[in-house]
Amino acid sequence: MTPAAEPSPVAIPTLVRIEGPDALAFLNGQFTCDVAALVPGAWTWGGYCSPKGRLLVTFRLGLLDGAYLLQCPTGQGAELAARLRRYVLRAKVSLTPVPASYRTGPAGALGIPEPPAIGHLRADGTRIVWGLQPGIIALDSPEAEPAAPDWTGDLALGAPWILPANAEAFVPQMADLDRAGGVSFTKGCYPGQEVVARARYLGEVKRHLFRITWTGSPAPAAGEPVLSGDRAVGAVLYGAGSDDRGAALAVLDTASALAGGLSANGRPIGTVERVHPDA
């Protein structure tokens, strides 16, 4: 599946702007990604876990003009900022949700003739532009009205968004967050770090991120179970569909995914493809 010819609006009402003298140390002790490795003008995937090592939310985290910008879906930014404030204590850190509407699509269609390089971001007036893939960007704009969710662009990119329906369902490796560059195994502690490390070094992860397709509608909702017969073997992260076909990202048991015969939302699944195949 390739990115849509037209931009896809996705409802992300908030970014979070994080700044202050202690912001780097604070964030590096909270998130799965290596915040210290970020250079100005770059971004990385990351996640925030429960003490049990299960993802509460995933995000893009960029460093721009001395502040960290955190982008996560469906209005989770404000909730995440509130949760993080509980642990700020005496650290000199401010966390400010910023209203914004988010779109993913071709740079030209979004009015950005010269997009940033992959893995970089920049300000364009009051807008923030994130370089995702060649010619494909995410654009955050405070002026635009939030649009109804359309995950087509993010689905094509394999963006491992964790929505509220899947909070605390997966360790980061199940959503392939590590393969997207959003997990550091060398930077030190963060909530759930021991569980995440154990899953890596003991080889306990049997589920991974897949792109699935089907015929018919509607698209399965986030959290919808994927079945092999009557047995749940995974869950949908998010999906997009038309009247006659659709696709979704799902975390699936790898052996069951390869065996086929899966269904979701009462419809048989057609193709099943690893988003990040083993090397």
Question: What is the pTM for the complete model shown?
Answer: 0.91
Backbone angles phi, psi at 243, to 5 degrees: -70, -25
Under 8 Å between Cβ of 56 and 170 = no
Whether the per-residue pLDDT at 186 is higher than 50: the answer is yes
Per the structure, the count of domains in the chain is 2
Q: Which two tokens stand for residue 276?
A: 């990040």
More confident residue, 88 or 99: 88
Instruction: Report pLDDT for 214.
Output: 84
Residue 246 placed within a domain: yes
Give Cβ neighbours of residue 258 (< 8 Å, ≥ 6 apart): 272
> In which order are the strands placed within the sheet that holds 94-99?
43-49, 55-64, 67-71, 14-19, 94-99
pLDDT at 174 (0 to 100): 97
- CA 23 to CA 261: how far, in whole Å? 48
Are 58 and 126 part of one and the same domain? yes
Same-domain status, 151 and 174: no
Query: What pLDDT score was predicted for residue 116?
Result: 96
Last residue within a domain, chosen from 128, 157, 186? 157
Residue-wise pLDDT tens digits, 223-236 = 999 999 999 999 99
Residue 2 counted as domain residue: no
Q: What is the pLDDT of residues 104-145, one digit of tens each?
A: 889 999 999 999 999 999 999 989 999 999 999 999 888 766
- Reference 52, options 263, 195, 257, 215; nearest CA is 195
Q: Which CATH number characterizes residue 252's domain?
A: 2.40.30.160
State the pLDDT at residue 226. Answer: 95
- Mean of per-residue pLDDT scores for the chain: 89
Structural domain harbouring 60: 8-157
Domain boundary among 157, 189, 219: 157
State pLDDT tens for residues 139-164: 988 876 666 667 888 888 999 999 99
Is there a single domain that holds both residue 143 and residue 220? no
